[in-house]
Chain A
Amino acid sequence: MTNTKDDKPFTETGISGKFMRIEPSYTMRSRYIIGEVHKVRRLTQKVREYIIVLKEEIDPDPGQFAMLWVPGVGEIPLSFADYTSKTVKFVISRVGAVTTYIHQNIGEGSKILLRGPLGKGFTIYPSRNCLLVGGGYGLAPLHYLAKKLSTKGCRLKILLGFKNSTDIFYVDEFRSISNTFISSEDGEEEFRGTVVELMKNILEEESFAIVYACGREEMLVKIARECAARNVKLEVSLERIIKCGLGVCGSCSIEPLGLRVCRDGPVFDGGILLRLEDLSRRSNEKICMNH
């Protein structure tokens, strides 16, 4: 994460000031900002895209997230699917109470509150050969990443995997940025099988400086093994139950490393996936349905 220069400095006085590493950005990012829903687009039966215009500029890095608060209902973490001058795109999949409420009640003109950008995003290495691998609903942050990478002179290949052809979304958006290949397990698309199998084929033919991946953790672990075997750098975006979003409550820590998804991540070096004990704790916890 980069601390932008225009963040207001957190002024300090006194003797201990000399020893402090000041993190001004967090004094700004943890406050709520008001936004208005500009447009809602149905992507699949369960997935919608929300375009929100904020009152303030926030300039997130790809891979960072925001906490979207619906007063009286709940607050959920969302990765940025896109961002340009105060306009943010979120891809919201209906998975629990808050997202169901959003699908049913938040429409054009609705006011929302969010805090962010939070956490650490993807590392961008200019002018490199990059492979982006996304599965299902988890591909949203890769879209914003792909856009940023292409402006930095990177050559991209994008692989998107879906369970069924009816789950497919954002393909045109990715295709407008770079070469995009689709896999679906029902065989209706160009590649029949999982996106990991598709990735293996691609890695046989071509070499990449870095692989960026988002999606279910079981899938990410397989990708991590493939990348480790081929000695390719990998960055992954992980999910856990995020509560405070600021790195203090510990709800989202990954064990046994004690890394906090909301603060140390959500983007991590892919190697950590090979050291985890609590694989997909998220999916085993009932409270994830709060989302």
Chain B
Amino acid sequence: MHEPLTDADDECVSNDKNSLPDLTIFISDLFLRNPTVLASGILGGSYGQLKRVEEAGAGALTTKTITKDPRTGYINPVFVDLGYGYLNAIGLRNPGVEQFSIELSKAKKDIMIPIIASVGGTSIEEFTYVAEKMVESGSDAIELNLSCPHVGGYGLDIGSDVKLTKEIIKEVKSISDKPLLVKISLFHSNKDIIEKFISAGLNGITAINTLKALAIDINSLSPVLSNILGGLSGPCIKPVTLAVIYEIYREFPDIPIIGVGGVEKAEDAIEMILAGASAVGIGSAIVRRDLEVFTEVTRGIERFMLENGFKSIKELIGYIHRR
């Protein structure tokens, strides 16, 4: 590892315009001012929410997963804080693609950072229909949600069928030249599957979606979520996310990865980048850190780079593979 900087060095650094750490990064064609990305499903359902997260300092924004028709989602409770992580089953609540297109068009007029549209569906036709509308409304990239673990007919129900998923990637890729990301689950963390997805034309991987999980309340002898099963996120899944990133990067170092699942602090983000992520998704960490989390993580990464003599975040990506 590099020599740590002293306080005196710190001053030297601030006097030299050319040696500030460079936190900018490309994910395929997307230019990110810093490697923090609003993860899908968290806020991102309206112009106002997207705008606030941009102002909070994010490098890119992912919308809520948008489906062809509006979905009201599940009844409460939809979110549980487990202490070591979070369990949610919101049920892909979203206003539907027609309504959301209006929000997205408005957002694109005003928001400078890239907006990645998360697209959900139950069939090839639905995926392409929604993706087309999103591109028309100005989304800078498409992220296919093939991994939501708790909505029947959507997400992982589609993503578990590798052949169908490959077709969806191919079809959606054919409608535009915008970067196409695929949000995968732990289930997809297998060299053969990822290889098939890459050959179908994806430009980046978002890893990972929440893990199917259950919370039970012994006082009432009942499951907590109204949907019973939900998706687990937060600190407890970080080691899993790291392993998935590590393996994908090891096999496919040229495919950009957005690491999602357990980023609450700068350290978590740095770990994911060292494992091979080019950027990190932040979502449920907002419960504890609120929207300031984006700036806090970015500043923490910058500080780490200063202290350890890294000039560009690109030097950190996949560092542990080159030790």
Tell whether A pairs with B: yes
Distance from A28 Cβ to chain B, minimum over Cβ atoms (Å): 10
A126 at the interface (CB under 8 A from B): no
Chain A CB count within 10 A is highest, among B41, B52, B283, for B52
Known: A72-B222, A113-B219. A248 touches B284 (CB 8 A): yes
B289, A21: Cβ atoms closer than 8 Å: yes
Residues of A within 8 A of B106 (CB): 256
B43 at the interface (CB under 8 A from A): yes
Residues of B within 8 A of A43 (CB): none
Chain B CB count within 10 A is highest, among A12, A247, A256, for A256
B48, A19: Cβ atoms closer than 8 Å: no
Distance from A291 Cβ to chain B, minimum over Cβ atoms (Å): 9
Known: A244-B88, A248-B287. A71 touches B47 (CB 8 A): no
CB within 8 A of A74: which of B44, B75, B88?
B75
B284: nearest chain-A partner, CB-CB: A248
Q: How large is the interface on B (under 10, 10 to 19, 20 to 34, 35 or more residues)?
A: 35 or more
Contact with A along B254-276 (1 / 0, CB 8 A): 00000000000111000000000
A219 at the interface (CB under 8 A from B): no
A243 at the interface (CB under 8 A from B): yes
Q: In whole angstroms, what is the CA distance A63 to B177 when docked? A: 50
Residues of B within 8 A of A27 (CB): 81, 83, 288
Q: In whole angstroms, what is the CA distance A26 to B44 when docked? A: 22
A250 at the interface (CB under 8 A from B): yes
A258: nearest chain-B partner, CB-CB: B48
Distance from B84 Cβ to chain A, minimum over Cβ atoms (Å): 11
A21, B296: Cβ atoms closer than 8 Å: yes
Residues of B within 8 A of A257 (CB): 48, 52
Residues of A within 8 A of B152 (CB): none
Q: How large is the interface on A (under 10, 10 to 19, 20 to 34, 35 or more residues)?
A: 35 or more
Q: In whole angstroms, what is the CA distance A15 to B267 when docked? A: 7
Known: A20-B289, A244-B90, A250-B46. A111 touches B79 (CB 8 A): no
Binds A, one of B18-26, B178-186, B188-196, B297-305: B297-305
A253 at the interface (CB under 8 A from B): yes
Distance from B187 Cβ to chain A, minimum over Cβ atoms (Å): 24
A76 at the interface (CB under 8 A from B): yes
B217, A71: Cβ atoms closer than 8 Å: yes
Distance from A247 Cβ to chain B, minimum over Cβ atoms (Å): 6
Distance from B146 Cβ to chain A, minimum over Cβ atoms (Å): 21
Contact with B along A10-43 (1 / 0, CB 8 A): 1010111111110100110011101000000000
B93, A251: Cβ atoms closer than 8 Å: yes
B226 at the interface (CB under 8 A from A): yes
A218 at the interface (CB under 8 A from B): no
Q: In whole angstroms, what is the CA distance A35 to B217 when docked? A: 14
A290: nearest chain-B partner, CB-CB: B75
B219, A243: Cβ atoms closer than 8 Å: no
A259 at the interface (CB under 8 A from B): yes
Contact with B along A211-239 (1 / 0, CB 8 A): 00000000000000000000000000000
B72 at the interface (CB under 8 A from A): yes
Distance from B183 Cβ to chain A, minimum over Cβ atoms (Å): 17
B47, A23: Cβ atoms closer than 8 Å: no
A32, B217: Cβ atoms closer than 8 Å: yes
B153 at the interface (CB under 8 A from A): no
A69 at the interface (CB under 8 A from B): yes
A254 at the interface (CB under 8 A from B): yes
Known: A16-B265, A247-B287. A256 touches B83 (CB 8 A): no
Known: A34-B219, A69-B77, A71-B217. A255 touches B48 (CB 8 A): yes
Residues of B within 8 A of A259 (CB): 48, 52
B14 at the interface (CB under 8 A from A): no
A247, B266: Cβ atoms closer than 8 Å: no
B residues 27-45 touching A (CB-CB < 8 Å): 41-45
B247 at the interface (CB under 8 A from A): no
B265, A243: Cβ atoms closer than 8 Å: no
B236 at the interface (CB under 8 A from A): no
Q: In whole angstroms, what is the CA distance A199 to B39 when docked? A: 46
Residues of B within 8 A of A15 (CB): 266-267, 300, 303-304, 307
A75 at the interface (CB under 8 A from B): yes
Distance from B9 Cβ to chain A, minimum over Cβ atoms (Å): 16
B90, A249: Cβ atoms closer than 8 Å: yes
Known: A15-B304, A31-B83, A113-B217. A76 touches B76 (CB 8 A): yes
CB within 8 A of A258: which of B50, B72, B220, B292?
B50
Q: In whole angstroms, what is the CA distance A243 to B93 when docked? A: 10
B42: nearest chain-A partner, CB-CB: A248
Q: In whole angstroms, what is the CA distance A75 to B90 when docked? A: 13
Sampled A-B contacts (7; CB under 8 Å):
A20-B300, A21-B289, A23-B289, A27-B288, A32-B217, A71-B217, A243-B76
Given contacts A71-B220, A256-B47, 17 further A-B contacts (CB under 8 A): A15-B300, A16-B297, A19-B266, A26-B287, A26-B288, A72-B222, A75-B77, A76-B76, A243-B79, A244-B78, A246-B287, A248-B79, A249-B79, A249-B88, A251-B93, A253-B49, A258-B48
3 smallest CB-CB distances across A and B, nearest first, come from A258-B48, A16-B266, A75-B76
What residues of chain A have their CB less than 8 Å away from a CB belonging to chain B?
Answer: 10, 12, 14-21, 23, 26-27, 30-32, 34, 67, 69, 71-72, 74-76, 111, 113, 243-251, 253-260, 263, 286-287, 290
